[in-house]
């Protein structure tokens, strides 16, 4: 088998066989096929796509390039959730304790943030002492006993994906739907869960910009999961504006804590309740989604979910945050509106990029996170605004943030006419 023949075949828009896909994935992983040939193939796939069988075979090849987590030591049905990334997305911090409080087994391997999207591990590590490096035995034992564990992904998990993504990132082939689907699903399948809910974001702050693209990505990922005998449900949700009000690691931890106590933003609480209901029902705990939703709401009201989060932190060696001594940003600066009206649009990408430049995120994987900085919104789409009223607050440790004040101010589009709130959940695909 020759790599040039595979490139020519995909260039001419023909389907690749499983053997051909296995050949180039293993060859690239083992350094026997050079970057320039894989780059050429990735571009051919970018333009000509893959059918469902190719996407499934590609996912399997990437999955088998490394280790697969064995969760058979965990009793019952294991559930997991994945988000395609967004601004202010602290869903896992709320969702995990919620479903665990209902009796589901939430076994979560998470990653770090890069660019304008935040990472769950960065948020959790902003909590003093929180340990994300759990041994396999400790991870399994904790999920069995507590119902939840959140740890870092190991280097041995789908190593082909790491190499391929790095190459796609510098060859303008990241926005390929089958390649994105295989990248996500190879890691999720390697993580070993039985039921997976995918939160596919669309909008300015997301990889997917249109509903049609999000639909197609969701459809392929659900199909891949089905082909592997997993139950996969995809939520298509809005990321035109940030989720919740807080953007930044410690700020998002605080917002998650308040949400678990029933005092969080409506959009965050609604999203976690809906996704959580499908996970709880999928775990076989309730007869239908409606009953699962009611159970989740009761766990918030009773503070059982909040207690579960506190226990999770302490079990993983962390110190539950004292909200009076948690944020240590030197400056808190208000960004004031220059006119009255209603918020028509709030650009999530601009907010996310601004937070990253303040130090809340990484531009490169080697950058250091400043967990104390970030942005707290005071207004969102549909809200009424008066001139000189506060639109947002910048938590920062820099002396001059003139450019960020301007960026955040321009992220808000103010209209004279009344505006409707954004749609949060567009579709559920299962």
- Domain assignment present for residue 56? The answer is no
- For residue 115, being part of any structural domain is answered with yes
User: Which of 285, 315, 345 is the last residue in one of the domains?
Assistant: 315
Of the candidates 78, 82, 162, 188, the residue annotated as catalytic is 82
DSSP string, 148-189: EEEEEPPTTSSHHHHHHHHHHHTTT-TT-HHHHHHHHHHHHH
168 classed as catalytic: yes
Tell me which of 11, 28, 49 is where a domain ends.
49
Residue among 90, 108, 168, 201 flagged as catalytic: 168
Tell me if 58 is assigned to some domain.
Answer: no
94 in the same domain as 31? no
Query: Would you call 187 a catalytic residue per the annotation?
Result: yes
In this predicted structure, what is the pLDDT of residue 361?
Answer: 85
Residue 83 phi, psi dihedral angles, 5° rounding: -110, 140
The pLDDT of residue 113:
66
CATH number of domain containing 371: 3.90.1170.30
Q: In which band, very low, low, confident or very high, does the pLDDT at 207 lie, cut at 50, 70 and 90? A: confident
- Long-range pairs for 322-329: beta carbons < 8 A, 24 or more residues apart: 323/254, 323/257, 326/250, 326/253, 326/254, 327/250, 327/251, 327/254, 327/372, 327/395, 328/372, 329/372, 329/373, 329/395, 329/396, 329/397
Predicted pLDDT of residue 115: 61
- Sheet of strand 105-110: strand arrangement: 148-152, 105-110, 78-83, 195-202, 231-238, 425-429
Is residue 107 assigned to a domain?
Answer: yes
From 15-19, 108-112, 159-163, the region with the lowest mean pLDDT: 108-112
Has 90 been annotated as catalytic? no
pLDDT at residue 114, rounded to an integer: 61
| Statement to judge: residues 248 and 349 lie in one domain | no
Residue closest to 373 by CA, chosen among 246, 255, 248, 252: 248
Q: What is the pLDDT confidence band of residue 158, given thresholds at 50, 70 and 90?
A: confident
Q: State which of 275, 292, 315 marks the end of a domain.
A: 315
pLDDT at 409 over 70: yes
Residue among 22, 80, 89, 161 flagged as catalytic: 161
Same domain, 338 and 294: no
pLDDT band at 23; cut points 50, 70, 90? very high
Kindly state the average pLDDT of the residues 187-203. 93
Domain count, the chain: 3
- pLDDT mean across residues, the chain: 94
Residue 153: pLDDT above 90? no
Q: Which of the four pLDDT bands, split at 50, 70 and 90, describes residue 116?
A: low
Answer whether residue 196 is part of any domain: yes
Residues 292 and 188 in one domain: yes
Domain containing residue 31: 3-49
The whole-number pLDDT of residue 296 equals 98
């Amino acid at each position: 088998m020759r790599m040039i023949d595979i490139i020519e075949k995909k260039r001419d828009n023909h389907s690749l066989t499983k053997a051909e896909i296995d050949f180039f994935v293993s060859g690239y992983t083992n350094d026997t096929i050079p970057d320039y040939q894989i780059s050429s193939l990735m571009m051919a796939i970018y333009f000509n796509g893959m059918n469902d069988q190719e996407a499934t075979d590609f996912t399997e090849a990437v999955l088998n390039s490394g280790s697969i987590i064995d969760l058979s030591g965990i009793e019952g049905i294991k559930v997991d959730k994945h988000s395609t990334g967004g601004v202010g997305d602290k869903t896992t911090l709320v969702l995990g304790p919620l479903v665990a409080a209902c009796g589901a087994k939430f076994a979560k391997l998470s990653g770090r943030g890069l660019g304008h999207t935040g990472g769950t591990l960065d948020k959790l590590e902003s909590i003093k002492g929180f340990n994300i490096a759990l041994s396999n035995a400790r991870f399994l034992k904790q999920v069995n006993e507590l119902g939840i564990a959140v740890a870092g992904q190991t280097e041995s998990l789908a190593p082909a994906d790491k190499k391929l993504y790095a190459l796609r990132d510098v060859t303008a082939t990241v926005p390929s739907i089958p390649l994105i689907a295989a990248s996500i699903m190879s890691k999720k399948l390697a993580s070993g869960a039985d039921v997976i809910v995918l939160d596919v974001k669309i909008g300015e702050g997301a990889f997917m910009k249109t509903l049609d693209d999000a639909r197609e990505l969701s459809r392929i990922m659900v199909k891949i999961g089905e082909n592997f005998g997993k139950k996969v449900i995809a939520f298509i949700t809005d990321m035109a504006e940030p989720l919740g009000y807080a953007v930044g690691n410690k700020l998002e931890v605080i917002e998650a804590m308040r949400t678990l106590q029933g005092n969080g933003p409506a959009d965050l609480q609604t999203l976690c309740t809906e996704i959580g209901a499908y996970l709880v029902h999928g775990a076989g705990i309730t007869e239908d989604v409606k009953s699962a939703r009611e159970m989740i709401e009761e766990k918030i009201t009773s503070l059982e979910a909040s207690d579960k989060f506190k226990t999770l932190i302490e079990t993983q060696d962390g110190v539950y945050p004292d909200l009076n001594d948690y944020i240590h940003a030197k400056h808190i600066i208000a960004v004031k509106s220059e006119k009255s009206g209603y918020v028509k649009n709030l650009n999530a990408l601009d907010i996310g990029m601004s937070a990253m430049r303040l130090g809340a995120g990484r531009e490169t994987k080697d950058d250091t996170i400043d967990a104390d900085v970030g942005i707290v919104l005071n207004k969102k789409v549909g809200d009424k605004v008066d001139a000189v009223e506060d639109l947002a607050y910048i938590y920062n440790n820099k002396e001059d943030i003139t450019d960020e004040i301007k960026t955040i101010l321009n992220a808000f589009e103010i209209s004279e006419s009344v505006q409707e709130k954004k749609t949060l959940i567009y579709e559920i695909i299962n």
